[in-house]
Amino acid sequence: MIYPLIEAVIPIISYAPLWKTMKERSISQYQLLKAGIDNKTLDSLKKNKNITLLTLEKLCTIIGCTPNDVVEFTE
């Protein structure tokens, strides 16, 4: 009998820097919503799901930071 290979999906994207940066700069999720980031995107960020580069650019503009302050790649 041949068993199927099951691979664990390990997230390599983390938005932990985003939450840290927001806390340091006293920026709330509500402020992101008011600035044009929608609920679906916030949910994706919380779940470390992919976002577009346009969204990353928008976050950086709103917060006044660089992409390194928003996302990191983990192993």
pTM of the model: 0.81
Could you give the domains of the chain? 13-73 (1.10.260)
pLDDT score recorded for residue 3? 63
pLDDT < 70: residue spans in the chain: 1-11
pLDDT score recorded for residue 10? 65
What is the secondary structure of the chain as a DSSP string?
A: -PPPP-------EE-HHHHHHHHHTT--HHHHHHTT--HHHHHHHHTT----HHHHHHHHHHHT--GGGT-EE--
pLDDT score recorded for residue 26? 96
**Residue found under tokens 């932990």:** 16
